[in-house]
Structure formats: C-alpha cells, structure tokens
Amino acid sequence: MELPGRLVPLRPLTVSDILDLVFQTLRRAGGPVAVIVLAVLLPELLLRELATFRFTRTATIDPTDIGAAFAGFGWVVVSALVGLYVGLVISAAIVALLAARDRGATLGVWGGLRIGLARSGATVGASVLTMLGVTAASFVALVIGIVFAVVIPFAGLLLMVPIVLFVPLVGFLMSYLLIAVAVEEGVGPWHTLTRTVTLLRRGFWRAVLITLLLGLLTLAVGAGLFALGGLIAAGLGELGWVLQVLGGGLFSAISTPLFAAAGLILYRDLRVRGEAYDLRVRARALRGAPR
C-alpha cells in the first residue's frame, strides 16, 4: 500500500493551510469527485427536491385532514432520511477517493462508491448517535439559557444565543469528521464516534474555527445562489420553482465535497498533532514499507 502524504502534508497545519488544502485537494483530484457529484449526488438531490416541492405545492392545507398531515410529515421524514443516507455515502466515497490519491493510488468512481456503501453502516450509525447527542445537549443549553435569561434578562439573553448556536456547530464538526474516521479506520458506529471525540481533544478550538469559516463561506455561496435564483424565478412565473429546486441541489453539490475534503485534511492534522502520525509514516518508510 502506498504511504500517505502526497496531497495532505504530514506536518502540523495552520488554519490557513487547511483552508487552502481543502480547495487544492479537490482541484488535484477533481475528475472522479466531479463525476460522483454531477452523475450521482446532483441528480438525486434534484429529484428529491423536485418531488418535495411538487408534493408541498399540490398538497391541500386543511387542519382537519389528519391523514394528509401524517402523509406530509411522513414524506418529510422519508425525504430527510434518504438525503442523509445518500449524502453520507457520497461523502464517504469522496473521502475514499481523496485518501487514495493522497497515497498515490488510483481509485475509480465505482471503487469510491463501493467504499462509501461499505462504510455506510458506520457513518449512518455514528451520525445518528451524534444527532441524538447534539439534540440532548441543545436542549440542556436552551434550558440553561432560559434560566439565565429569566434571572438576568439582558445578560442571560446574550449568554443564551452563543451557547445555543455553539452546540449545533460542534455537532456539525463531528458529523463530517467522523466520515473520515469511518473510512480511514474501518471501525463500527460507536468506535467511530468515540474515536472522533478522542481526536478532537487536541486541536478542538482550531477545528471549531475551521468549521465556522467553511460554514460561513458555504452559507455565503448558498445565499448568493438562492438570491440570484429568486430574482430570476420572480420573472418566470409558474416555472420559477425549477430554479428554486436547482438552487437547493447546487448548494448541496458544492458543500458536500467541500466538507468531505475538510474532514480528511482535519483528520490527518489531528493525528499528526496528537499521535505523531507523520513520524509513524516515516518510520514505516524507513522499514521498507512499499511506496
């Protein structure tokens, strides 16, 4: 097996290094990643967005129609679960492609998708556990914030807002980092989650800052896409919903590979900082491990 370090340098990375490497890594391994995004992810997103939009567009709003309400809720849940599963498989496939390129190996599109499917149990399981933990932590944070807001109204409100926003941010950080852990280490859902927590003990605040900066960037791009689509859609009348659907699909098609690459780079950096991963790789090379 080829040793890593061809795309992601095996040294401690600064915040700017990681942000630059996210785009450089995707550009240098852009062919297979683009195929997965354009041929698999984007069509699935567009079809699901289209079906959801048409469903909500044609559904009648009647508070007394319990069956329609359950049908609408069921459709939202099914669509969200399908989107979660496909997004995790695609993200894992992109991580596998980038990791193979980082080792100097070649992994085709179908090879990456096979790995994504094979690791879907670990990624889905760890993601569900993360979401449960984030939900519980958000509830506790909200209760604490409300108590402070009642006792000290203005100061409590100022304290509540960052706490309530911080917990989902950490959950999102873990959600994309655990995909790299699952693909690279091949462990089950629980060990994927605990391994992700262990890695984050070193460099936690740097990882939060990187997540915040990438999140703001993708939100800015998404806001631009939706604003542009809304302006054009306003002049198209009934056909405007097509652009709205396309905007949602493009946003996910941009953000998914971005955070998949960020997860792999951050994973390598955390291992270098906390486990001397770079020294282990060099020791393997000196012992005659194949390159």
Which of 5-14, 22-31, 136-145, 265-274 is least confident? 136-145
Pick from 135, 40, 28, 48: nearest CA to 88: 40
d(CA 130, CA 136): 10
Confidence band for 277, pLDDT divided at 50, 70 and 90: very high
Q: Is residue 291 part of a domain?
A: no
Which of 36-50, 98-112, 162-176, 206-220 is least confident? 36-50
pLDDT in tens, 182-194: 999 999 999 999 9
Give the type of residue at 19. Answer: L
d(CA 179, CA 196): 9
Query: Does residue 68 or residue 173 have the better pLDDT?
Result: 173
Query: Percent of the chain at pLDDT above 90?
Result: 38
Query: Does residue 118 or residue 106 have the better pLDDT?
Result: 118
Indicate the average pLDDT of the chain: 82
Q: Is residue 110 part of a domain?
A: yes
Q: Which of 31-40, 99-108, 120-129 has the highest mean predicted lDDT (pLDDT)?
A: 120-129
Report the SS3 class of residue 80: helix
Q: Residue 49: pLDDT above 80?
A: no
Q: Is residue 10 part of a domain?
A: no
Average pLDDT over residues 274-289: 84
pLDDT in tens, 203-254: 899 999 999 999 998 888 877 766 666 666 566 555 555 666 676 677 888 8
d(CA 65, CA 70): 9
Q: Is residue 5 part of a domain?
A: no
Q: Is residue 6 part of a domain?
A: no
Q: Is residue 9 part of a domain?
A: no
pLDDT of 214: 92
**What pTM value is reported for the model?**
0.85
pLDDT of 196: 95
Q: Residue 39: pLDDT above 70?
A: yes
Q: Is residue 249 part of a domain?
A: yes
Give the type of residue at 199. Answer: L
Q: Which of 40-49, 57-66, 262-271 has the highest mean predicted lDDT (pLDDT)?
A: 262-271
Number of independent structural domains in the chain: 1
Domain that holds residue 92: 19-286
CB-count exposure of residue 17 (10 Å: 0-12, 13-18, 19+)? middle
pLDDT of 63: 52
d(CA 133, CA 127): 10
Average pLDDT over residues 161-174: 84
